[in-house]
Structure 1
Amino acid sequence: MQFTENEFRDYLFNHHKESISELIVGRREPVSWQGDEFPPLSFLLQQIAEQKINKILDGLESLVIIAQELRLEKTGDSTTRVDLFGNSETNGLTIIELKKSKQTERQAYTELLAYANHFCSIFPGITEGVINSVLIAPMETRTVRDAFAQEILANDKFAVALIPKQDEGKITLSVYYPDKSYYQWFQNNLLDDRSMLTVAISFPIIDGWIDIDQETGDRNIPDYSKVALNTISNTISYQLEAGGYHSLVYASQNWGEIAKLLPYPNTIYVVVINPFASFRSGINNQKVSGESALGRLAEIQEIYDQLDEDKREFWIESLESNFHDFVIRTVREEFERCFRNTDQSSFQSEISIPDWYGLKTSMIDSVFTHNLDIYLSGLLRKIYMSYVDYMYNKKEDDFYYSDDLPKYSYDTLRDFLPVWEILRGLGLGKENA
């Protein structure tokens, strides 16, 4: 006998309120790198995702389901219902949505995300990232598989997908792990120089507050200047993290003998992954093309074909332009917030959008400079931290980079050179560096 969706929900609630983990099969250890060379980005991304999935699975061992068909009501809105609702000592609030048909699984995943958002609205202070979403569905629709990989990797959601199976009356929930091809696509596009939007805010010396190295008589910026510049970078990075951007931020100051010749020797560089980069998807003669998977280009084409004809021509260009505006506005607002003062005085600054590859290879901008601490946000931070974990977990006799790394890992977390070198090795413009 095959259960209907309602019967399946009732079965889980009545028989596995505190033991749903007993039904889960197919859990495996995250991929591990066995080679002696630098692990590829696709491997690190797969490891990040699978570690997150397994962490949620482990937390389901303490899950207690406390309600079924939980009504979520908002004044003036229609009522929706959560299939199963519970709490875990390890994972906290957990929402389970159940669909046995591939025709409805896309709707179920959309509903899960909406439910998480609802709980954020009634418990101010929590975010969707700390709500555990469990989708029980066939996972046969590519759109759902894509969305799942995107949510756990790029959007930092805590989600797990379980595939229901029934064989001779025995019910199991098989763990879904995204195929490695998903991570390869991220690798091919994520850290390409052409994916990077760079925003630079340059400003003058502020006597007594942010000075250049010539004032100290050596090649070192005064400590108070370093503190000020790093604080500005950190403040902007925090705001980008809150906005969901994947970025790196650092301050740079030209060497003293060069700085005294320039009106704006201080610069805050903000480098953000641009999801609308034109090389990935562009429109030519009403056809969408670019360096992206054919399936994704086809989906963009489908959207494009449904747009009003007078809005089509520059649709993707407008998305990229709007993204640029969002980032520039965020950076500018945080920068200006850092320079409010009691006497209401102000100074001139200039904002530019340099080419990332050109910036990295410029002697004036990247070599004859003091490059201070780097602050990472979003997926860039996750990627970098995974690499640090990998390197410091290696056995001593395999530690062929030991002469180039600090003794303790905390020295790698902000210092410009280790971050710069490691991200370059992972593919941040590797071909052009």
Structure 2
Amino acid sequence: MPISEKDIQLHIWGLRDNWVNLIQPVKFPEPNHFIDGEYDIWSLNPQDAFLNIIYSRLSDLDKYTRKTELIGCEVHLKKNSDSTIRADLLCCSIGRGGFGIVEIKKSSQTERQAYTELLGYGNHIQGLFPGMSTEDLVYILISPMEERIVREATLLSLLNDEKPVYCLVPKWVNDDITTLKLHPWIPSNEDLVKISNGMFHPSNIDIFKLTWDYVDDWNYLPPQQNPEPHMVDTLNKLSIYAAQVMESKHITGFVYASQPWAEMPLLPNSLIIAGINPFKVSKLLHLIRTKRLDIYKTEDLDTSGIKLSNILPEIDNTHNKSSEDYLEAFSTAWTNTIAGISFETFKTMTINSENETFETDHGSMTWKQYQRILMEDVFVHNYDVRPTGLLRKLFQAYQDIDYKYLTKHSYENHPFHEHGDIPRYGIDNWYDIRYFREFLNRLFDPVYNYRFDINDAETDRKSEDPD
């Protein structure tokens, strides 16, 4: 008889004292640090940086899983409605603490339900132990990993939601359950394309700028004077709070505060919140796929004609109003998300014992448009920038690679550290908006707008070598 999910469950439970011996040895790909050759750093791109993050995360989860012990089989988890859901297996690791929920799916048809059930179990356990962090509960999925939607859900859980998800592919011979082996799943570059390709483009970044007049005692900027340290510190606190709210909502973006030069006729205080608009990303991805475009040659593409049915063609089968442009409405309305964070931040930070209120003004645009307005973006004091979500993870990854490169190759051929004015420590680099803008430019174009033949450059360098 064909092996069933129940057979797999009971077989693993029967080997509970040493079930981890079923997990086959694995060697996750070594991170590509782009530092082997002097010009390798020019090939750094978001997709490979994400793979580095994922492989490192999966390597840690592999070590955790191999140290777990099974503590329950077919565990009934009662819900408020008195209905129950059943976790196939429960495990734990005393050294790390917390639970591991094991869900078993045998086929590609049933694995589509895996995350619905896993997250249901997880929510119930988190309700029993309020205050659990994402590190206190590990999701272990035993599944063929054949469905694209399951692979994408795993990658998004690891990257965006920061949920510890570890996948094992079950394999056996001749329907003999005693030959069962569990093979750790290793995502491929292709699995990540849909997440990273097309996401980091200047037209996808929405800006919401909130401005206000001076507030007594903490941010009045006298004419012809530079901001005092306490003013800078106060405005930086606004961006800290806004970044925390953005992280709680899993928004990929960045935030910083600014004040105009004293001679500029502008309101003296600003909070700038930037977020990657997911609906704009989906439209750009559609064009890239259907027209086979190079993401780095899509400067001014018109995406206004793309509708929701282009992204979700199945919707035409169930909805008779396909002519309605929901996608454009979603894209436009998304700015309200970051606008709400701006207003919440300002209200929270200016609450006072006199019940005094402060008048504000605001505007929205794309990041590309914003950078072209000199009075708004150039003739100003821009303070500490705080990246969030996937941009924070990438900024950290790029900085780590940059410092490793500089240690090995110095700075002469680095994409933007060639000037040699390099902070010694990462902390001096982390909040500096100048470096962050250079980082964004590298995401928008991996070769950072430098168009030269690396082989020619290497030849020129050697020709200048006196030896």
Relative to the length of structure 1, the TM-score reads: 0.88
Contact 2:138 2:164 in 1 (8 A): yes
Tell me the secondary structure at the aligned position of residue 67 of structure 1: strand
Question: 177, 184, 189: which one pairs with 2:186?
Answer: 177
Question: 206, 211, 222: which one pairs with 2:215?
Answer: 206
Mapping 1:343-382, distance limit 5 Å: 343-382=354-393
Tell me the secondary structure at the aligned position of residue 211 of structure 1: coil
Aligned pair count reads 418
Which letter does structure 1 place at the counterpart of 2:81?
G
The CA RMSD over aligned residues, in Å, is: 2.7
Q: 1:83 to 1:8 in 2, by over 3 A?
A: same
Offset, 1:5: 1.5
Per the alignment, residue 51 of structure 2 pairs with 46
Per the alignment, residue 115 of structure 2 pairs with 109
Contact 2:210 2:271 in 1 (8 A): yes
Find the aligned partners of 1:338 and 1:431 in 2 and give their Cα distance. Answer: 40
Contact 1:191 1:428 in 2 (8 A): no
Q: 1:179 to 1:298 in 2, by over 3 A?
A: farther
Contact 1:17 1:66 in 2 (8 A): no
Contact 1:198 1:354 in 2 (8 A): yes
Q: 1:77 to 1:291 in 2, by over 3 A?
A: farther
Find the aligned partners of 2:133 and 2:87 in 1 and give their Cα distance. Answer: 18
Question: 441, 444, 460: which one pairs with 1:424?
Answer: 441
Question: 160, 163, 181: which one pairs with 2:166?
Answer: 160
Question: Does 2:271 match 1:265?
Answer: no
Q: 1:85 to 1:406 in 2, by over 3 A?
A: same
CA-to-aligned-CA distance 1:128-173 (integer Å, 9 cap, x gap): 5642111111111122122222221222221011111113743221
Mapping 1:17-416, distance limit 5 Å: 17-20=17-20, 22-32=22-32, 33=34, 34-35=36-37, 36-38=40-42, 39-88=44-93, 89-90=95-96, 92-128=98-134, 130-167=136-173, 169-212=178-221, 214=223, 216=225, 220-258=226-264, 261-262=265-266, 264-277=267-280, 280-281=282-283, 290-292=287-289, 300-310=311-321, 313-394=324-405, 396-400=407-411, 401=417, 403-416=420-433
Offset, 1:117: 2.0
Offset, 1:45: 0.9
Offset, 1:110: 2.1
Tell me the secondary structure at the aligned position of residue 352 of structure 1: strand
Per the alignment, residue 285 of structure 1 pairs with none
Q: 1:113 to 1:128 in 2, by over 3 A?
A: farther
Contact 1:280 1:291 in 2 (8 A): no
Offset, 1:54: 1.1
Offset, 1:239: 0.7
Tell me the secondary structure at the aligned position of residue 276 of structure 1: helix
Contact 2:286 2:311 in 1 (8 A): no
Q: 1:59 to 1:396 in 2, by over 3 A?
A: same
Query: What percent of counterpart residues are identical?
Result: 26
Offset, 1:361: 2.9
Contact 2:31 2:52 in 1 (8 A): yes
Q: 1:68 to 1:293 in 2, by over 3 A?
A: farther
Find the aligned partners of 1:233 and 1:330 in 2 and give their Cα distance. Answer: 11
Offset, 1:270: 0.5
Which sits farther off after the overlay, 314-323 or 371-380?
314-323
Contact 2:100 2:137 in 1 (8 A): yes
Q: 1:292 to 1:73 in 2, by over 3 A?
A: farther
Offset, 1:428: 7.4
Offset, 1:408: 0.9
Which letter does structure 2 place at the counterpart of 1:79?
T
Q: 1:91 to 1:417 in 2, by over 3 A?
A: farther
Which letter does structure 2 place at the counterpart of 1:40?
N
Offset, 1:329: 1.7
Highest RCO, 1 vs 2 (Cα 8 Å, sep ≥ 6):
2
Q: 1:75 to 1:159 in 2, by over 3 A?
A: same
Which letter does structure 2 place at the counterpart of 1:186?
I
